[in-house]
Structure 1
């Protein structure tokens, strides 16, 4: 087995047309598919948008590899999908209740990244390429010679505990809690664990690829900056040992056996590639006068839908930040809205929730389901002296979608579901007395 011996290296810039080669001259000059490739490689294009998508939206990458991906050990065969579920078909009605879960435990028998995928909720329709799936991943070992790709959607991975090392067809990315990893639809990868057991969240985006939101009146700066997104450089294995390839396709898992490593891309050029982003680099925009802004002002990435301004998926982050609003109820206000909100906590506390929302935990507030600060939070925020305050020990996020998000049977029946969640508002009482 031969492996390129470069240290982890990254290129920067969101959605750029990158070119990178692990061997000098592996990239053809002036064309993508020459009659014969250098080093006797094969040219293969990977497209994560339609061929005819507008130039600004078009995503594709040309790879130059030892074998084309069509070389497999034969037909894929169906395997047990464990606790992985895909929309439609969760076999449950979706209640309009507020829902919250404690963190799923990290067991020693969890297995690898794929073994430990547990679906919490889904929306839309993967076959129609709308909506999303929300999973928790847990793993106590690396994938070794198992390789995975998801044909149903792009994967947004949010580590909560432990670092992951992603080996992909286009290179390697080391990702720690506080960073995110995005892997395009259909790209092969394996997850190794450099520092022991891991846990985190996955949003499987069935819809349009994630992109940076427009800044609008904010202007040229603020939010996430293109330069801070990191892409891998070319890296390959020349490995003719047996590998297992697992595929998620139309909600089911299938596998086949390869007689080689699929990480044999010697060079690539294009703009559809895995990337990571450090959430600490997100430039928060917040109010400096009054009223709490809509959560959309904290959007890092968005998957647009066919309705302008209404997202298939928004990835929203609530990082450390200053709160300075005057004469204002500073936490998020009580509200009902058309979007469905799934929240998770990476570390610390979230300002609108009490002790029940812990790192690794989750909550779901669906379309038009009323929610807002808990009773104790409301009392404190209503009566505290308003001084500039730094929210330091916090990093929460939200997957927000135009589609109703349906919890799975596992999520509804899990011991981690907090069945008394709604009681956190029972302390809110009527204060009205007719006097101004």
Structure 2
């Protein structure tokens, strides 16, 4: 990945970071001095309640040229395809659903190009939304603030330059970006058109999963997450602020850039992660393990083990299990599974599942390998082999995901998806 020469990064997930674009802009020994240096304003951005336990407390102090409060009045902004909460979804039969790649059409920026596949929960309470984006131009003098949810971006095609209040991130396919709730950002495609996926998380903030018997090392290592260094925009002029608030979009204008933070310190930070650094755990004996061993990030719920949403990946890895059906087994899961494919071929679906596409298997909807994958895996010579040039992911949630009107009526929904299992015959021999 070729980085912009001016971009630098701080490392560590959940770490207390500090950065300044101008020497001396960061106060020492106090957070809010009577007069901040360089004529700056001190502002606190909280990602948790003030009294949250220290280990879960999230906040960052910003030292900026003008406070975020300096903004005009908001007016409603129409957006037909970005939906939030179960009430915005439609009833769907208990069938498996699959979509072809999101069409690379339209002349819009990242905000214009967002469209929701499926939603659950309730804004302000919990739940998630699974979205696609297509961006064919930069956001320019436009910024997005999602006060309802943090956003996990999974690029599938085209690099992105993400500008946030704390600095800039370059994110390519194979990387993810995690953007905190309430923080202004904009997304500019470095390659046009750009396409990918978004998880809008309305529940507890994403964190690294506990490792349990795995021990102290494995899966996603905290040191591999990268936060931006302080950077501020010097160009003067108006900005449009688009705000997601209460499940609706609003817009206002302000006379200055929201990316005017000269220094900051805290642990509520945007970050990127290279999925190639994920330390995959797999069996070295027999049986296909649960997909939970591929969890990168988790948003827990009030019931231990039942996540509000898990972000799970299926990366390149060695397959060595003996006397084992190596692809995922047929199953009905209490959790609902939304899947996307970044590149290559998913081993359980050699037929039909394409990069840029998606699938939804809701709670207790039966699914598993198609007939082609079953036949191939059942008769394979079980020598060690490596799955290469592939990257699939899953947003897994404890609640039913309700497809949107766009997903059911306008997106490239495959009406014959369930046919991929019709070739599985009754081979029982008494």
Shorter-chain TM band: over 0.9
Cα distance, 1:376 vs structure 2 = 1.1
Secondary structure of the equivalent of 2:49?
Answer: coil
Question: Given that residues 112 and 140 in structure 1 are in contact (C-alpha distance below 8 angstroms), is that contact kept between their aligned partners in structure 2?
Answer: yes
Cα distance, 1:195 vs structure 2 = 2.3
Secondary structure of the equivalent of 2:373?
Answer: helix
State the alpha-carbon separation in 2 of the partners of residues 393 and 364 from structure 1. 23
Match of 1:83 among 81, 84, 87: 81
Structure 1 residues 25-36: aligned runs within 5 Å: 25-36=24-35
1:107-160 residue CA offsets vs partner (Å, 9 max, x unmatched)? 1x33000000011100111132x1101110001100000111111100000000
Is structure 2 residue 210 aligned with structure 1 residue 211? no
Question: Given that residues 88 and 126 in structure 1 are in contact (C-alpha distance below 8 angstroms), is that contact kept between their aligned partners in structure 2?
Answer: no
State the alpha-carbon separation in 2 of the partners of residues 240 and 379 from structure 1. 63
State the alpha-carbon separation in 2 of the partners of residues 334 and 21 from structure 1. 52
Match of 2:111 among 103, 114, 123: 114
State the alpha-carbon separation in 2 of the partners of residues 51 and 110 from structure 1. 42
Question: Given that residues 175 and 275 in structure 2 are in contact (C-alpha distance below 8 angstroms), is that contact kept between their aligned partners in structure 1?
Answer: yes
2:150 is matched with: 154
Question: Given that residues 157 and 196 in structure 2 are in contact (C-alpha distance below 8 angstroms), is that contact kept between their aligned partners in structure 1?
Answer: yes
Match of 1:277 among 252, 273, 280: 273
Cα distance, 1:68 vs structure 2 = 0.5
1:260 is matched with: 256
Cα distance, 1:175 vs structure 2 = 0.3
Range with bigger deviation, 8-17 or 231-240: 231-240
Cα distance, 1:90 vs structure 2 = 2.1
Question: Given that residues 156 and 203 in structure 1 are in contact (C-alpha distance below 8 angstroms), is that contact kept between their aligned partners in structure 2?
Answer: yes
TM (normalized to structure 1)? 0.96
- The size of the alignment, in residue pairs, is 427
State the alpha-carbon separation in 2 of the partners of residues 233 and 374 from structure 1. 46
1:49 is matched with: 48
1:226-280 residue CA offsets vs partner (Å, 9 max, x unmatched)? 1100000000013330110000111111000010101000000000010000000
Call closer, same or farther: CA 1:267–1:6 in 2, change over 3 Å. Answer: farther
Call closer, same or farther: CA 1:327–1:171 in 2, change over 3 Å. Answer: same
Range with bigger deviation, 192-201 or 156-165: 192-201
Question: Given that residues 375 and 425 in structure 1 are in contact (C-alpha distance below 8 angstroms), is that contact kept between their aligned partners in structure 2?
Answer: yes
State the alpha-carbon separation in 2 of the partners of residues 114 and 252 from structure 1. 13
State the alpha-carbon separation in 1 of the partners of residues 6 and 366 from structure 2. 50
TM (normalized to structure 2)? 0.98
Match of 2:362 among 363, 366, 376: 366
Question: Given that residues 102 and 411 in structure 2 are in contact (C-alpha distance below 8 angstroms), is that contact kept between their aligned partners in structure 1?
Answer: no
State the alpha-carbon separation in 2 of the partners of residues 286 and 167 from structure 1. 36
Range with bigger deviation, 184-193 or 277-286: 184-193
Flag structure 1 segments of 5+ consecutive residues without an equivalent: none
Question: Given that residues 110 and 138 in structure 1 are in contact (C-alpha distance below 8 angstroms), is that contact kept between their aligned partners in structure 2?
Answer: no
1:92 is matched with: 90
Match of 2:127 among 126, 131, 142: 131
State the alpha-carbon separation in 2 of the partners of residues 245 and 374 from structure 1. 46
1:22 is matched with: 21
Secondary structure of the equivalent of 1:125?
Answer: coil
Question: Given that residues 89 and 403 in structure 2 are in contact (C-alpha distance below 8 angstroms), is that contact kept between their aligned partners in structure 1?
Answer: no
State the alpha-carbon separation in 1 of the partners of residues 92 and 127 from structure 2. 15
Is structure 2 residue 228 aligned with structure 1 residue 229? no
Cα distance, 1:393 vs structure 2 = 1.7
Cα distance, 1:410 vs structure 2 = 0.8
Cα distance, 1:91 vs structure 2 = 5.0
Question: Given that residues 86 and 402 in structure 2 are in contact (C-alpha distance below 8 angstroms), is that contact kept between their aligned partners in structure 1?
Answer: no
Question: Given that residues 11 and 226 in structure 2 are in contact (C-alpha distance below 8 angstroms), is that contact kept between their aligned partners in structure 1?
Answer: yes
Cα distance, 1:53 vs structure 2 = 1.0
2:314 is matched with: 318
State the alpha-carbon separation in 2 of the partners of residues 136 and 193 from structure 1. 15
State the alpha-carbon separation in 1 of the partners of residues 123 and 103 from structure 2. 28
Question: Given that residues 149 and 189 in structure 1 are in contact (C-alpha distance below 8 angstroms), is that contact kept between their aligned partners in structure 2?
Answer: yes
Is structure 2 residue 383 aligned with structure 1 residue 387? yes
Question: Given that residues 208 and 304 in structure 1 are in contact (C-alpha distance below 8 angstroms), is that contact kept between their aligned partners in structure 2?
Answer: yes
Question: Given that residues 82 and 115 in structure 1 are in contact (C-alpha distance below 8 angstroms), is that contact kept between their aligned partners in structure 2?
Answer: no
